[in-house]
Amino acid sequence: MPRHLPRGWVACDPGGSHSGLVSLIGVDVVDVFVLDRADDELIVDYARRVADRLVAMYGRVERALTRRAAADEGEVVNDTAVALEGVVPITPHAGDKPINPTGLVYAAVVLGACAARFPNAAIVRPGRMGSNVLAAYPAQLVSDGERRRVGWEMRVGTGQLRHARSAYDVAQAAKQPHNHLTSER
């Protein structure tokens, strides 16, 4: 009798300047990427690059699950889910200062590019993604520099991997349907 294989997850924290991507099989981290947008890179080109990487990561997880199923002589079942952090409207002012909406608009462009590739993705409500203490994350999501600080385990990291930690939290939140802005189809 074939055993049940863990579910694969590919998650993205889409951002206009930095996007974090993480893929998992069960609780095991497969890939971690933080993609940065170059100063002269058009947002549509950057969004396409993030979406392309998400597709490649999805394929890698699917191939790994297929190999595991074959090794167990099990049936190959597509059980990889995609989770994306959504965007919500902002208020036009923070206190008495107007807010520049460019970052939100650019993040929405990246989200749209990823959602176009994965129309059944779980879109997760934003909220404090990537802000747990470092000890709460798998080792691949904490840099050596972050570990060098005294008491690092109880700190919230501020390095580039914070974007990948955010994607990790997006995957975890997607496992709870009440966190979805949309329902999985």
* All structural domains of the chain with their residue ranges: 8-131+167-179
Q: Which phi and psi (to 5°) does residue 118 adopt?
A: -130, 75
Q: Does domain 8-131+167-179 have CATH number 3.30.420?
A: yes
- The reported pLDDT for the residue numbered 77 is 60
Q: 160 vs 119, 144, 145, CA distance in Å? A: 28, 12, 11
pLDDT tens digits along 70-102: 777 666 566 799 999 999 887 766 667 777 789
Per-residue model confidence as pLDDT tens digits over 103-156: 999 999 999 999 999 999 999 999 889 999 999 999 999 999 998 989 999 988
Rounded distance, CA 104 to CA 43, Å? 12
Contact 89, 105 (CB under 8 A): no
Residue 54 near residue 114 (C-beta atoms within 8 A): yes
Q: Which residues contact 57 (CB under 8 A, 6 or more apart)?
A: 10, 21, 23, 30, 31, 33
